[in-house]
Amino acid sequence: MRSMDNSSVDINELEKIGKKQLNRDNLDKAKETFEKILQLDPENLLALDKTGVIFARKGCLDIAKQYFKKVLSIDPAYKTAHNNLGNVYLEMGEIGHAKDCYKKAIEIDIEYSRAYHNLSIAYKREGDISNYVKTLKRSTKLEKREGIRKVVSFFKTRQD
């Protein structure tokens, strides 16, 4: 994983840059940035996961799936990879596998709103309206709570 030498500083900076590029939908630049990270640290979970996201966004679902599975082979408790793998399965029409991934992410973090949201979509696609409504309500409640935490955190950091 990360060492505490000069490359760790470079990796941290590259992670920030890559996330910004990805958030701006600059997929090619983000991919280049995460590939640089993986050259320095081939088991960097964030870079592997985000590279999987890039491939998923480009429609290369089988490649994306490989990246998410690699993350999980290194760290089975990496909730984001479970969630992202679920998204790939959902996109591939494999709703049962998608639900399993979302449930695993929720098992790891009971307050992971994104996984609840995605699980609700899977239920809706199955036609299971009861579970769709239940998980969507849970997701919405958690998202509101997360929003409040972010606001409180923002003001706490400004006071320090």
Does the domain formed by 81-160 have CATH 1.25.40.10? yes
The two domains 1-75 and 81-160 share their CATH topology (first three levels equal): yes
Structure tokens at 87: 């998204």
What pTM did the predictor assign?
0.86
Task: Classify domain 1-75 at the CATH topology level.
Answer: 1.25.40
Task: Provide the residue-wise pLDDT of the chain in tens; the chain has 160 residues.
Answer: 444 444 455 999 999 999 999 999 999 999 999 999 999 999 999 999 999 999 999 999 999 999 999 999 999 999 999 999 999 999 999 999 999 999 999 999 999 999 999 999 999 999 999 999 999 999 999 998 888 877 777 776 666 5
DSSP assignment letter at 4: S
Spans of all domains in the chain? 1-75, 81-160
Question: By the 8 A CB rule, do 67 and 55 touch?
Answer: yes
Residue 44, classified by CB atoms within 10 Å of its CB into exposed (0-12), middle (13-18) or buried (19+), is buried
